[in-house]
Amino acid sequence: MKKRNKSATMICSMILITLSLFVANCSQNSSKQSTSYKTQTYYPEKWETDNFPDYHLEIVQFHHEDKCDTCTFLQNSIIELLNTTYAQEAEEGIIIYHSIMTNYAENTPIKQEFSVMEEDLCSSIYIKGKHQHIEIWRDLFLAADEDPVYAKELLQQKIEKRIEEARKIENRENP
């Protein structure tokens, strides 16, 4: 009987040690993931630390850590427009580009807020701390694959339209 109790005690001890090591390893990995690697970025970069303006157009790109060619093309096109055509608006925070890696659990809430799965391009009129008037721009993915020149034109048209909408909303709320 004593031999059986010792065996059961030993097995239980081994199971508890294994579980403790497993839990410790999981918590260590999750803390590394959330603190050592940036899974969201903003452009212009100053908006990572500065407070957002109460009203602005936010272009939000959801993508995997290893971006596909289409995501890379769209990101480069957006940043090019923010550096040229919309340089003043980007500097003032009227337009902000927000890049989000979808394969990290910490980004699940914003994916749910925008109703996206993995790779999407969206725009949102950001009003006093909330994304509102969200549009999903899936047609830009198709255009980028089929005709990159047209995709850039379409992107600029969409940005122009959304800037105008954001200004109308701000003027309506702050006459």
Q: What is the pLDDT of residue 149?
A: 96
Instruction: Say if residue 52 is exposed, middle or buried (CB neighbours under 10 Å; 0-12, 13-18, 19+).
Output: middle
List, for the chain, all residue ranges whose pLDDT scores fall below the cut of 70: 1-37
> Which fold, 40-173?
Glutaredoxin (3.40.30)
SS3 content of the chain, % helix, strand, coil (to 5): 60, 20, 20
CB 95 within 8 A of CB 167: no
Q: Structure tokens of 118?
A: 């993995």
Q: What is the pLDDT of residue 117?
A: 83
Q: What is the pLDDT of residue 31?
A: 33
Enumerate the domain spans of the chain: 1-36, 40-173
Q: What is the pLDDT of residue 58?
A: 94
Exposure b/e, 127-164, CB count within 10 A at least 16 = b: beeebeeeeebeebbebbeeeeeebbebbeebbeebbe
Q: What is the pLDDT of residue 34?
A: 38
Q: What is the pTM of this model?
A: 0.74
- Distance CA(113)–CA(110), nearest Å, equals 5
